[in-house]
Amino acid sequence: MIVAKLIDTTLCIGCKACEVACQEWNDQEYTMGTFDGSYQTKPELEANFWNLIKFNEVEKDGATSWLMSKYQCMHCADAGCLAACPAPGAIVPLANGTIDFVHENCIGCGYCITGCPFDVPRLNSTTKKAYKCTLCSDRTAVGLEPACIKTCPTNCLTFGERDELLRMAETRTVELKADGFADAGIYNPQGVGGTNVLYVLKHASEPEQYGLPKDPVIPWTVSLWKGPIKWMGMLMFWGTIFGAFFHFVIYGPQDPEKHGHPRDAEEEPSEKP
């Protein structure tokens, strides 16, 4: 069963409860921000901030509107990050559709960032690993909904079986159209094979007003990389690593005495009378 999140932006009040729930559940380190001229908590996602409400002031037909939408990993069916990742087991597609990052396998190359058409993953400069929303895989594994869903006070967020949510989204779209929002629709971009995070938008033909890319596709460089070049690249990449490893096994470590490395000399002054 593929699971998904449905975000009905018409019910989002930008309260940021989902941001706090995400931070709390994932034991994130809180960082005080500098003012960026907006109500938004951060200008963009960060390695320790995976769920961001975007605030967009839009003027349309002389009327002001303030569009709020929750931004996080989209858990794409055809995930750009997964396509780009060279480290086996670092990005894992789970059976329920979640794209999960396994940090002990991450080599911190940052290719997933390039591969993501939604600009989601972020590299932590200390741990040198990439981070993003896990769809709370540690909660969903035991039958709980993600933390953001659990905390949403307005029922703007729903979690469940993807097909069922798509039906709900369609019903909601019909309702909105009946209420006079002719452009209402579902955001489920096909350029990435559809996403497991679905949005209901009043202005579906202009998702960029909500801070969502209009027609996201995996960058061609990554697609190419995913094809023949990936195998060549993989061969070269791992070849180098294995080469270095076997060189170590066969020839042993470098001899600092022989090379006279100044740093090593400084480190052991007592042994050098």
**Residues in the site for another protein, rule: CB under 8 A?**
10-17, 19-20, 23-24, 30-39, 41, 57, 59, 64-68, 153-155, 175, 179
Distance, CA of 43 to CA of 54 (rounded, Å): 9
Phi, psi of 101 (to 5 degrees): -95, 130
Rounded to a whole number of angstroms, the minimum distance from the CB of residue 144 to another protein is: 20
* 26 vs 140, beta carbon nearer another protein: 26
* 19 vs 145, beta carbon nearer another protein: 19
Burial class (CB in 10 A: 0-12, 13-18, 19+), 227: exposed
Distance, CA of 100 to CA of 85 (rounded, Å): 12
Structure-block tokens of residue 13: 């009040």
Distance, CA of 145 to CA of 131 (rounded, Å): 20
Rounded to a whole number of angstroms, the minimum distance from the CB of residue 165 to another protein is: 16
Rounded to a whole number of angstroms, the minimum distance from the CB of residue 179 to another protein is: 8
* 59 vs 271, beta carbon nearer another protein: 59
Nearest C-alpha neighbor of 93 from the set 109, 111, 113, 73: 73
Nearest C-alpha neighbor of 41 from the set 22, 58, 59: 22
Cβ neighbours for 214, distance < 8 A, ≥ 6 positions apart? 206, 207, 208
Rounded to a whole number of angstroms, the minimum distance from the CB of residue 221 to another protein is: 35
Residue 127, SS3 per DSSP: coil
* 195 vs 209, beta carbon nearer another protein: 209
HSE toward the beta carbon, residue 88, CA cutoff 13 A:
5
* Residues recorded for the chain: 273
* 39 vs 242, beta carbon nearer another protein: 39
Please state the separation of Cα 179 from the chain's center in Å.
Answer: 34
* 17 vs 85, beta carbon nearer another protein: 17
Rounded to a whole number of angstroms, the minimum distance from the CB of residue 138 to another protein is: 20
Rounded to a whole number of angstroms, the minimum distance from the CB of residue 17 to another protein is: 7
